[in-house]
Amino acid sequence: MLKIIKNYFRARFKKILLEEIWLEDLVRTGMRIGDNCSIQPGVIFDYSHCWLIRIGDNVTIAPEAYLLAHDASTKMLNGWMKISSINIEDNVFIGARALIMPGVTIGKNTIVAAGSIVTKSIPENSVVAGNPARIISTLEEYKVKINKQFNDSTANVYDNNYTIKGNVSDNDKNEMYEQLKNKIGFVK
């Protein structure tokens, strides 16, 4: 119990000292987040216009993704900053370091690949990648492709013991690395 209290005060002190903005601050300012969302460390939400961001249910946003609801480059042209909403619908996965620009809606059941720059709205059931992000397949086509890889007799499949939460051993880490050189595997 003492450790929990100590960690709580350490986190609060760090927040004040480093002027960190927490998810609860964004929600208090007006951003909306649905149920069962997984927002990983380092995700950046446009604090100055966070109330323009809506996130649906069952959304995963990977580390260091960026959701930007304003474009200040227009200010030097006419003295006004361009702003617009961002709407992330239900069951969306946004990969690491993806950038979602103002005015974008990402439809239900969509995957945004890591590093993608989304400048236009994406229809539901899509997989997008690139700069600017473009549709590379439907969600169903991607599912078939991944399941084919998973069911390939040469695919390496690992259980929870091969994760940090499963306390993966150093030996298993090395084994996993060797087995996955230039090869795709799957972990639970």
Percent of the chain whose predicted confidence (pLDDT) is above 90: 69
Instruction: Name 176's Cβ contacts closer than 8 Å, sequence gap at least 6.
Output: 156, 158, 162, 168, 185
At 133-171, the pLDDT tens digits run 999 999 999 999 999 998 987 889 999 999 988 999 999
Q: Note the pLDDT of residue 27.
A: 83
Question: Does the pLDDT at position 25 exceed 60?
Answer: yes
At 79-96, the pLDDT tens digits run 999 999 999 999 999 999
Active-site hit among 25, 34, 58, 70: 70
Q: Do 81 and 74 touch, CB atoms closer than 8 A?
A: yes
What's the one-letter identity of residue 50?
Answer: C
* Distances 176 to 151, 153, 173 between C-alpha atoms, Å: 18, 17, 5
What's the one-letter identity of residue 21?
Answer: I
Q: How far is the C-alpha of 122 from the C-alpha of 74, rounded, in Å?
A: 24
Q: How far is the C-alpha of 162 from the C-alpha of 153, rounded, in Å?
A: 20
Q: Is 49 a catalytic residue?
A: no
Residue 22 per-residue DSSP state: P
Question: Does the pLDDT at position 19 exceed 50?
Answer: no
